[in-house]
């Protein structure tokens, strides 16, 4: 049974930082590309960042590029999202997701999803 468990969300002020973690189990983690996707109230899910199985390549949405950093530790079966200089528009539920093959932007192609962690940024 595949499980992805996010943690690290919370309520912060604009300009603050947060580090999200996603612990994976029930799959060969090093064989999966991982992504972070977010969903704000009343909006569709939005791609945030993705990383290859090795961690050698990453890709970001333009809205977060330069502020967010995705990374992974295959020994710990964990993927991270370091979020710096947070803005109120970053407020959303953040999900980690896994897929085999190369990382993609299209969120529907991710096979496994976590339950999400809430990030709220006040102005």
Q: How many CB atoms lie within 10 A of CB 86?
A: 22
Instruction: Give pLDDT tens digits for 66-117.
Output: 999 999 999 999 999 999 999 999 999 999 999 999 999 999 999 999 999 9
For residue 56, report the phi and psi dihedrals to the nearest 5 degrees: -75, -20
Instruction: Give pLDDT tens digits for 46-66.
Output: 999 999 999 999 999 999 999
State CA 25 to chain mean position distance: 16
């Amino acid at each position: 049974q595949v499980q992805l468990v996010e943690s690290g969300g919370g309520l912060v002020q604009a300009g603050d930082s947060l580090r999200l973690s996603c612990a994976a189990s029930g799959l060969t983690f090093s064989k999966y590309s991982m992504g972070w996707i977010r969903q704000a109230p009343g909006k569709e899910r939005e791609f945030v960042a993705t990383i290859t199985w090795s961690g050698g390549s990453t890709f970001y949405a333009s809205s977060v590029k330069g502020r967010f950093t995705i990374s992974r530790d295959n020994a710990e079966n964990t993927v991270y999202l370091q979020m710096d200089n947070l803005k109120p528009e970053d407020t959303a539920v953040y999900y980690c997701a896994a897929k085999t093959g190369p990382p993609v932007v299209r969120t529907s192609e991710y096979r496994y999803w976590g339950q999400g962690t809430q990030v709220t940024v006040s102005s």
